[in-house]
Structure 1
Protein backbone atom coordinates (compact mmCIF):
# COMPACT_ATOMS: atom_id res chain seq x y z
CA UNK A 1 0.00 0.00 0.00
CA UNK A 2 1.40 3.39 -0.99
CA UNK A 3 -0.13 6.69 0.02
CA UNK A 4 0.90 9.69 -2.06
CA UNK A 5 1.51 12.82 0.00
CA UNK A 6 1.34 15.66 -2.50
CA UNK A 7 3.91 18.40 -1.95
CA UNK A 8 3.27 21.88 -3.33
CA UNK A 9 5.54 24.89 -3.16
CA UNK A 10 5.08 26.04 0.44
CA UNK A 11 3.90 22.71 1.88
CA UNK A 12 5.55 22.13 5.25
CA UNK A 13 3.72 19.16 6.76
CA UNK A 14 4.49 16.63 4.03
CA UNK A 15 7.41 15.04 5.88
CA UNK A 16 5.44 14.97 9.13
CA UNK A 17 2.63 13.17 7.36
CA UNK A 18 4.90 10.59 5.74
CA UNK A 19 6.54 9.93 9.11
CA UNK A 20 3.19 9.62 10.91
CA UNK A 21 1.89 7.17 8.31
CA UNK A 22 5.14 5.15 8.43
CA UNK A 23 4.85 4.89 12.22
CA UNK A 24 1.45 3.26 11.64
CA UNK A 25 2.97 0.76 9.20
CA UNK A 26 1.54 2.55 6.17
CA UNK A 27 3.83 3.01 3.19
CA UNK A 28 3.83 6.63 2.04
CA UNK A 29 5.88 8.80 -0.27
CA UNK A 30 6.13 12.48 -1.00
CA UNK A 31 5.11 13.40 -4.52
CA UNK A 32 6.05 16.74 -6.06
CA UNK A 33 2.87 18.14 -7.59
CA UNK A 34 4.49 18.84 -10.97
CA UNK A 35 5.47 15.17 -11.28
CA UNK A 36 1.88 13.99 -10.94
CA UNK A 37 0.54 11.07 -8.94
CA UNK A 38 2.10 7.61 -9.07
CA UNK A 39 0.05 5.04 -10.93
CA UNK A 40 -2.71 3.48 -8.84
CA UNK A 41 -2.06 5.15 -5.46
CA UNK A 42 -3.76 3.48 -2.51
CA UNK A 43 -4.44 6.84 -0.90
CA UNK A 44 -3.71 10.54 -1.24
CA UNK A 45 -2.98 13.21 1.36
CA UNK A 46 -3.00 16.94 0.67
CA UNK A 47 -0.86 18.10 3.60
CA UNK A 48 -0.67 21.29 5.58
CA UNK A 49 1.52 24.31 4.98
CA UNK A 50 1.29 27.55 3.06
CA UNK A 51 1.11 26.55 -0.58
CA UNK A 52 2.12 29.48 -2.77
CA UNK A 53 2.29 31.69 0.30
CA UNK A 54 -1.51 31.68 0.62
CA UNK A 55 -1.65 34.28 -2.16
CA UNK A 56 -5.14 35.18 -3.40
CA UNK A 57 -6.72 32.81 -0.84
CA UNK A 58 -5.27 29.92 1.08
CA UNK A 59 -5.21 26.90 -1.24
CA UNK A 60 -6.53 28.77 -4.26
CA UNK A 61 -3.40 28.55 -6.41
CA UNK A 62 -2.53 24.95 -5.53
CA UNK A 63 -6.09 23.96 -6.40
CA UNK A 64 -5.28 24.83 -10.02
CA UNK A 65 -2.19 22.62 -10.20
CA UNK A 66 -2.63 19.93 -12.89
CA UNK A 67 -2.14 17.23 -10.26
CA UNK A 68 -5.55 18.14 -8.84
CA UNK A 69 -7.23 16.76 -11.96
CA UNK A 70 -5.65 13.42 -11.10
CA UNK A 71 -6.66 13.77 -7.46
CA UNK A 72 -10.27 14.39 -8.41
CA UNK A 73 -10.21 11.46 -10.83
CA UNK A 74 -8.76 9.18 -8.16
CA UNK A 75 -11.40 10.33 -5.66
CA UNK A 76 -14.12 9.56 -8.20
CA UNK A 77 -12.72 6.03 -8.49
CA UNK A 78 -12.88 5.47 -4.73
CA UNK A 79 -9.29 6.24 -3.70
CA UNK A 80 -9.17 7.63 -0.12
CA UNK A 81 -8.24 11.32 -0.12
CA UNK A 82 -7.58 13.42 3.00
CA UNK A 83 -6.91 17.16 3.03
CA UNK A 84 -5.35 18.53 6.23
CA UNK A 85 -5.26 22.25 7.08
CA UNK A 86 -3.84 23.85 3.92
CA UNK A 87 -4.77 20.60 2.21
CA UNK A 88 -8.34 21.13 3.41
CA UNK A 89 -8.27 24.59 1.89
CA UNK A 90 -6.94 23.12 -1.36
CA UNK A 91 -9.61 20.42 -1.25
CA UNK A 92 -12.41 22.95 -0.94
CA UNK A 93 -10.92 25.27 -3.55
CA UNK A 94 -10.41 22.27 -5.85
CA UNK A 95 -13.99 21.05 -5.61
CA UNK A 96 -13.40 17.92 -3.55
CA UNK A 97 -15.65 19.18 -0.78
CA UNK A 98 -18.23 21.97 -0.49
CA UNK A 99 -17.69 25.19 1.38
CA UNK A 100 -14.56 27.27 1.86
CA UNK A 101 -12.06 28.18 4.55
CA UNK A 102 -11.46 31.86 5.19
CA UNK A 103 -9.79 34.22 7.67
CA UNK A 104 -10.17 33.33 11.33
CA UNK A 105 -12.73 35.38 13.21
CA UNK A 106 -9.89 36.65 15.38
CA UNK A 107 -7.98 37.79 12.26
CA UNK A 108 -4.94 36.13 13.85
CA UNK A 109 -2.91 33.01 13.14
CA UNK A 110 -3.84 30.49 15.82
CA UNK A 111 -1.64 27.64 16.99
CA UNK A 112 -3.10 25.68 19.91
CA UNK A 113 -4.72 22.41 20.94
CA UNK A 114 -8.45 22.07 20.47
CA UNK A 115 -11.12 19.57 21.41
CA UNK A 116 -13.10 17.96 18.60
CA UNK A 117 -16.27 15.91 18.86
CA UNK A 118 -16.69 12.98 16.48
CA UNK A 119 -19.96 13.69 14.69
CA UNK A 120 -20.07 10.64 12.40
CA UNK A 121 -18.31 7.51 13.61
CA UNK A 122 -19.24 5.48 10.56
CA UNK A 123 -16.60 6.71 8.11
CA UNK A 124 -13.10 5.44 7.26
CA UNK A 125 -11.63 8.47 9.05
CA UNK A 126 -13.57 8.01 12.29
CA UNK A 127 -14.10 4.26 12.59
CA UNK A 128 -11.39 4.13 15.28
CA UNK A 129 -13.54 6.39 17.48
CA UNK A 130 -16.98 6.26 18.99
CA UNK A 131 -19.57 8.70 17.77
CA UNK A 132 -19.63 11.57 20.25
CA UNK A 133 -16.08 10.84 21.43
CA UNK A 134 -13.93 13.87 22.24
CA UNK A 135 -10.40 13.95 20.86
CA UNK A 136 -7.68 16.57 21.22
CA UNK A 137 -5.77 17.73 18.16
CA UNK A 138 -3.52 20.69 17.33
CA UNK A 139 -4.43 23.49 14.95
CA UNK A 140 -2.13 25.97 13.21
CA UNK A 141 -3.88 28.25 10.75
CA UNK A 142 -4.79 31.79 9.88
CA UNK A 143 -7.62 30.92 7.48
CA UNK A 144 -9.41 28.07 9.20
CA UNK A 145 -12.93 29.44 9.48
CA UNK A 146 -15.28 27.14 7.58
CA UNK A 147 -17.97 28.97 5.64
CA UNK A 148 -20.82 27.57 3.58
CA UNK A 149 -24.34 28.63 2.65
CA UNK A 150 -27.02 27.80 5.20
CA UNK A 151 -28.96 25.56 2.81
CA UNK A 152 -25.85 23.65 1.77
CA UNK A 153 -24.79 23.22 5.39
CA UNK A 154 -28.25 21.93 6.28
CA UNK A 155 -27.86 19.34 3.53
CA UNK A 156 -24.42 18.30 4.80
CA UNK A 157 -25.77 17.91 8.31
CA UNK A 158 -28.82 15.95 7.18
CA UNK A 159 -26.52 13.63 5.21
CA UNK A 160 -24.17 13.13 8.21
CA UNK A 161 -21.27 14.64 6.31
CA UNK A 162 -19.84 16.64 9.20
CA UNK A 163 -16.90 14.66 10.61
CA UNK A 164 -15.83 16.79 13.58
CA UNK A 165 -16.97 19.86 15.47
CA UNK A 166 -14.96 22.02 17.82
CA UNK A 167 -16.20 21.60 21.37
CA UNK A 168 -15.41 21.94 25.06
CA UNK A 169 -13.59 19.12 26.90
CA UNK A 170 -17.07 17.89 27.91
CA UNK A 171 -18.31 17.83 24.33
CA UNK A 172 -20.41 20.99 24.36
CA UNK A 173 -20.42 22.97 21.13
CA UNK A 174 -20.07 26.58 22.25
CA UNK A 175 -18.78 29.80 20.66
CA UNK A 176 -15.97 29.88 23.21
CA UNK A 177 -14.76 26.43 22.12
CA UNK A 178 -14.76 27.42 18.45
CA UNK A 179 -11.20 28.67 17.78
CA UNK A 180 -11.78 30.31 14.41
CA UNK A 181 -15.48 31.08 14.06
CA UNK A 182 -16.30 28.17 11.75
CA UNK A 183 -20.00 27.98 10.92
CA UNK A 184 -21.70 25.54 13.29
CA UNK A 185 -18.22 24.82 14.71
CA UNK A 186 -17.38 22.53 11.78
CA UNK A 187 -13.81 21.19 11.92
CA UNK A 188 -14.01 18.59 9.14
CA UNK A 189 -16.38 17.44 6.41
CA UNK A 190 -16.88 14.57 3.98
CA UNK A 191 -16.47 15.21 0.28
CA UNK A 192 -18.96 15.02 -2.55
CA UNK A 193 -17.52 11.76 -3.95
CA UNK A 194 -18.29 9.78 -0.78
CA UNK A 195 -17.00 9.26 2.74
CA UNK A 196 -13.60 8.12 1.42
CA UNK A 197 -12.87 11.81 0.76
CA UNK A 198 -12.56 14.26 3.65
CA UNK A 199 -10.98 17.53 4.68
CA UNK A 200 -10.24 18.74 8.18
CA UNK A 201 -8.55 21.79 9.67
CA UNK A 202 -6.92 20.17 12.77
CA UNK A 203 -3.69 18.19 12.29
CA UNK A 204 -4.02 14.46 13.05
CA UNK A 205 -0.45 13.81 11.87
CA UNK A 206 0.84 15.99 14.71
CA UNK A 207 -0.92 13.87 17.30
CA UNK A 208 0.50 10.40 16.67
CA UNK A 209 3.64 10.10 18.82
CA UNK A 210 3.60 9.05 22.46
CA UNK A 211 6.85 10.94 23.05
CA UNK A 212 4.94 14.15 22.26
CA UNK A 213 2.13 13.20 24.60
CA UNK A 214 -0.58 12.93 21.97
CA UNK A 215 -1.75 9.96 19.93
CA UNK A 216 -5.39 10.76 19.30
CA UNK A 217 -4.77 11.60 15.65
CA UNK A 218 -3.78 8.05 14.80
CA UNK A 219 -7.35 6.96 14.27
CA UNK A 220 -7.82 9.37 11.37
CA UNK A 221 -4.70 8.19 9.53
CA UNK A 222 -5.52 4.53 10.14
CA UNK A 223 -8.15 4.90 7.43
CA UNK A 224 -5.34 4.34 4.93
CA UNK A 225 -4.60 0.89 6.34
CA UNK A 226 -8.02 -0.56 5.52
Structure 2
Protein backbone atom coordinates (compact mmCIF):
# COMPACT_ATOMS: atom_id res chain seq x y z
CA UNK A 1 0.00 0.00 0.00
CA UNK A 2 1.34 3.45 -0.90
CA UNK A 3 0.96 5.99 1.89
CA UNK A 4 0.10 9.56 0.99
CA UNK A 5 2.68 12.26 1.70
CA UNK A 6 1.95 14.26 4.85
CA UNK A 7 1.83 18.05 4.71
CA UNK A 8 3.96 19.99 7.20
CA UNK A 9 2.34 23.16 8.51
CA UNK A 10 4.24 26.41 7.75
CA UNK A 11 5.88 28.34 10.56
CA UNK A 12 4.03 31.46 11.79
CA UNK A 13 5.13 34.65 10.10
CA UNK A 14 5.96 36.25 13.45
CA UNK A 15 8.49 33.54 14.20
CA UNK A 16 10.00 33.89 10.72
CA UNK A 17 10.27 37.64 11.18
CA UNK A 18 12.05 37.28 14.54
CA UNK A 19 14.49 34.77 13.10
CA UNK A 20 15.17 37.02 10.15
CA UNK A 21 15.80 40.02 12.39
CA UNK A 22 18.34 38.07 14.38
CA UNK A 23 20.14 37.03 11.17
CA UNK A 24 20.20 40.65 9.96
CA UNK A 25 21.80 41.78 13.23
CA UNK A 26 24.49 39.14 12.95
CA UNK A 27 25.08 39.34 9.18
CA UNK A 28 23.71 41.67 6.54
CA UNK A 29 21.33 40.09 4.03
CA UNK A 30 20.15 41.32 0.68
CA UNK A 31 16.53 42.14 -0.03
CA UNK A 32 16.26 39.46 -2.71
CA UNK A 33 17.53 36.72 -0.41
CA UNK A 34 15.21 37.93 2.33
CA UNK A 35 12.23 37.80 -0.01
CA UNK A 36 13.13 34.27 -1.12
CA UNK A 37 13.41 33.04 2.46
CA UNK A 38 10.05 34.55 3.36
CA UNK A 39 8.34 32.90 0.38
CA UNK A 40 9.95 29.54 1.18
CA UNK A 41 8.84 29.77 4.82
CA UNK A 42 5.28 30.63 3.82
CA UNK A 43 4.91 27.75 1.34
CA UNK A 44 3.89 24.30 2.69
CA UNK A 45 6.60 21.65 2.78
CA UNK A 46 5.94 18.15 1.48
CA UNK A 47 7.54 15.44 3.53
CA UNK A 48 7.76 12.12 1.77
CA UNK A 49 7.60 8.98 3.80
CA UNK A 50 10.47 6.63 3.05
CA UNK A 51 8.28 3.70 2.05
CA UNK A 52 9.32 1.52 -0.91
CA UNK A 53 6.73 1.59 -3.65
CA UNK A 54 5.78 -1.50 -5.59
CA UNK A 55 6.72 -1.20 -9.23
CA UNK A 56 3.94 -2.07 -11.61
CA UNK A 57 5.15 -3.49 -14.91
CA UNK A 58 2.79 -3.03 -17.78
CA UNK A 59 2.53 -5.89 -20.26
CA UNK A 60 4.62 -5.54 -23.40
CA UNK A 61 2.29 -4.69 -26.23
CA UNK A 62 5.02 -4.50 -28.87
CA UNK A 63 4.66 -8.16 -29.91
CA UNK A 64 1.21 -9.59 -30.68
CA UNK A 65 0.18 -12.76 -28.92
CA UNK A 66 0.26 -15.67 -31.35
CA UNK A 67 -2.07 -18.64 -31.20
CA UNK A 68 -0.20 -21.94 -30.94
CA UNK A 69 -1.75 -24.89 -32.72
CA UNK A 70 -0.58 -28.35 -31.72
CA UNK A 71 -1.01 -30.83 -34.50
CA UNK A 72 -1.46 -34.50 -33.71
CA UNK A 73 1.00 -36.49 -35.85
CA UNK A 74 -0.75 -38.77 -38.28
CA UNK A 75 -0.04 -42.47 -37.84
CA UNK A 76 0.99 -44.12 -41.07
CA UNK A 77 -0.56 -47.54 -41.68
CA UNK A 78 1.85 -50.39 -41.09
CA UNK A 79 2.85 -53.01 -43.64
CA UNK A 80 4.91 -56.18 -43.62
CA UNK A 81 6.49 -55.44 -46.99
CA UNK A 82 6.62 -52.22 -48.98
CA UNK A 83 7.81 -51.85 -52.57
CA UNK A 84 8.36 -48.69 -54.62
CA UNK A 85 6.74 -47.82 -57.93
CA UNK A 86 7.52 -44.84 -60.13
CA UNK A 87 4.40 -43.47 -61.78
CA UNK A 88 4.58 -43.66 -65.57
CA UNK A 89 2.74 -41.70 -68.26
CA UNK A 90 -0.99 -42.50 -68.49
CA UNK A 91 -0.92 -44.51 -65.26
CA UNK A 92 -3.70 -43.99 -62.74
CA UNK A 93 -4.26 -45.18 -59.22
CA UNK A 94 -6.74 -47.66 -60.66
CA UNK A 95 -4.28 -49.14 -63.16
CA UNK A 96 -1.49 -49.33 -60.59
CA UNK A 97 -3.61 -51.16 -58.04
CA UNK A 98 -4.87 -53.53 -60.72
CA UNK A 99 -1.29 -54.31 -61.67
CA UNK A 100 0.08 -54.91 -58.19
CA UNK A 101 -3.02 -56.03 -56.30
CA UNK A 102 -5.09 -57.58 -59.13
CA UNK A 103 -8.05 -55.66 -57.72
CA UNK A 104 -9.00 -51.98 -57.81
CA UNK A 105 -10.44 -52.12 -54.29
CA UNK A 106 -6.91 -51.45 -52.97
CA UNK A 107 -6.97 -47.86 -54.26
CA UNK A 108 -8.05 -46.46 -50.88
CA UNK A 109 -5.30 -48.37 -49.08
CA UNK A 110 -2.57 -47.14 -51.43
CA UNK A 111 -3.89 -43.57 -51.34
CA UNK A 112 -3.95 -43.49 -47.53
CA UNK A 113 -0.46 -45.00 -47.29
CA UNK A 114 0.92 -42.26 -49.56
CA UNK A 115 -1.11 -39.33 -48.24
CA UNK A 116 -3.07 -38.96 -51.46
CA UNK A 117 -6.41 -37.16 -51.05
CA UNK A 118 -7.23 -36.52 -54.70
CA UNK A 119 -5.69 -39.07 -57.11
CA UNK A 120 -6.70 -37.00 -60.15
CA UNK A 121 -4.39 -34.14 -59.09
CA UNK A 122 -2.00 -35.66 -56.53
CA UNK A 123 -0.73 -38.48 -58.74
CA UNK A 124 2.05 -37.07 -60.93
CA UNK A 125 4.32 -38.71 -63.49
CA UNK A 126 7.68 -39.56 -61.94
CA UNK A 127 6.52 -39.57 -58.32
CA UNK A 128 7.45 -42.57 -56.18
CA UNK A 129 4.62 -44.53 -54.65
CA UNK A 130 5.01 -46.86 -51.68
CA UNK A 131 2.90 -49.95 -52.12
CA UNK A 132 2.14 -51.82 -48.89
CA UNK A 133 1.91 -55.61 -49.01
CA UNK A 134 1.31 -55.96 -52.74
CA UNK A 135 0.23 -59.26 -54.26
CA UNK A 136 2.72 -58.83 -57.09
CA UNK A 137 6.15 -57.88 -55.74
CA UNK A 138 7.85 -57.05 -59.02
CA UNK A 139 7.91 -57.45 -62.78
CA UNK A 140 11.21 -58.99 -63.81
CA UNK A 141 12.63 -58.91 -67.31
CA UNK A 142 14.78 -61.99 -67.91
CA UNK A 143 18.37 -61.18 -68.81
CA UNK A 144 21.05 -63.29 -70.41
CA UNK A 145 22.52 -65.89 -68.07
CA UNK A 146 19.58 -65.83 -65.66
CA UNK A 147 17.79 -69.01 -64.64
CA UNK A 148 14.65 -69.74 -62.69
CA UNK A 149 16.86 -70.56 -59.71
CA UNK A 150 18.83 -67.29 -59.82
CA UNK A 151 15.65 -65.23 -60.22
CA UNK A 152 14.04 -67.04 -57.29
CA UNK A 153 17.11 -66.45 -55.16
CA UNK A 154 17.07 -62.75 -56.08
CA UNK A 155 13.51 -62.12 -54.93
CA UNK A 156 12.89 -64.74 -52.25
CA UNK A 157 16.44 -65.32 -50.96
CA UNK A 158 15.80 -69.03 -51.29
CA UNK A 159 15.78 -71.46 -54.18
CA UNK A 160 13.04 -73.54 -52.61
CA UNK A 161 10.34 -71.31 -54.11
CA UNK A 162 11.13 -72.11 -57.74
CA UNK A 163 8.00 -74.22 -57.93
CA UNK A 164 5.71 -71.37 -56.87
CA UNK A 165 7.34 -68.93 -59.29
CA UNK A 166 7.12 -71.40 -62.15
CA UNK A 167 3.47 -72.27 -61.49
CA UNK A 168 2.36 -68.64 -61.24
CA UNK A 169 4.01 -67.78 -64.58
CA UNK A 170 2.83 -70.95 -66.34
CA UNK A 171 6.36 -72.30 -66.76
CA UNK A 172 6.52 -76.07 -67.29
CA UNK A 173 10.03 -76.44 -68.65
CA UNK A 174 12.43 -73.71 -67.47
CA UNK A 175 15.04 -74.76 -70.01
CA UNK A 176 12.76 -73.83 -72.91
CA UNK A 177 10.06 -71.63 -71.40
CA UNK A 178 12.32 -68.99 -69.84
CA UNK A 179 13.64 -66.72 -72.58
CA UNK A 180 15.66 -63.53 -72.60
CA UNK A 181 13.44 -60.45 -72.63
CA UNK A 182 10.31 -62.13 -71.26
CA UNK A 183 8.69 -60.59 -68.18
CA UNK A 184 8.03 -62.69 -65.12
CA UNK A 185 5.58 -61.64 -62.44
CA UNK A 186 7.08 -62.13 -58.99
CA UNK A 187 4.10 -62.99 -56.79
CA UNK A 188 3.63 -62.74 -53.07
CA UNK A 189 3.92 -66.35 -51.98
CA UNK A 190 0.68 -66.03 -50.04
CA UNK A 191 -1.34 -66.04 -53.26
CA UNK A 192 0.38 -68.99 -54.89
CA UNK A 193 -1.38 -72.30 -54.39
CA UNK A 194 0.41 -75.48 -55.32
CA UNK A 195 -1.96 -78.15 -56.57
CA UNK A 196 -1.10 -81.49 -55.09
CA UNK A 197 -1.93 -83.16 -58.40
CA UNK A 198 0.57 -80.99 -60.31
CA UNK A 199 4.09 -80.82 -58.96
CA UNK A 200 7.58 -79.99 -60.13
CA UNK A 201 10.58 -82.17 -59.40
CA UNK A 202 13.98 -80.59 -59.22
CA UNK A 203 16.68 -82.52 -61.03
CA UNK A 204 20.30 -81.56 -60.50
CA UNK A 205 22.63 -82.54 -63.33
CA UNK A 206 26.23 -81.29 -63.37
CA UNK A 207 25.43 -78.11 -61.50
CA UNK A 208 22.48 -77.21 -63.71
CA UNK A 209 19.03 -77.05 -62.20
CA UNK A 210 16.06 -78.17 -64.26
CA UNK A 211 12.40 -78.48 -63.37
CA UNK A 212 10.42 -81.27 -64.94
CA UNK A 213 6.64 -81.09 -64.93
CA UNK A 214 4.96 -84.25 -63.74
CA UNK A 215 1.20 -84.54 -64.14
CA UNK A 216 -0.50 -86.87 -61.75
CA UNK A 217 -4.09 -87.76 -62.35
CA UNK A 218 -6.46 -89.17 -59.86
CA UNK A 219 -7.88 -92.55 -60.61
Coarse TM-score class (shorter-chain normalised): under 0.3
RCO greater where, 1 or 2, for CA within 8 Å and sep 6 or more? 1
More helix by share: 2
User: Structure 1-normalised TM-score?
Assistant: 0.25
Larger radius of gyration: 2
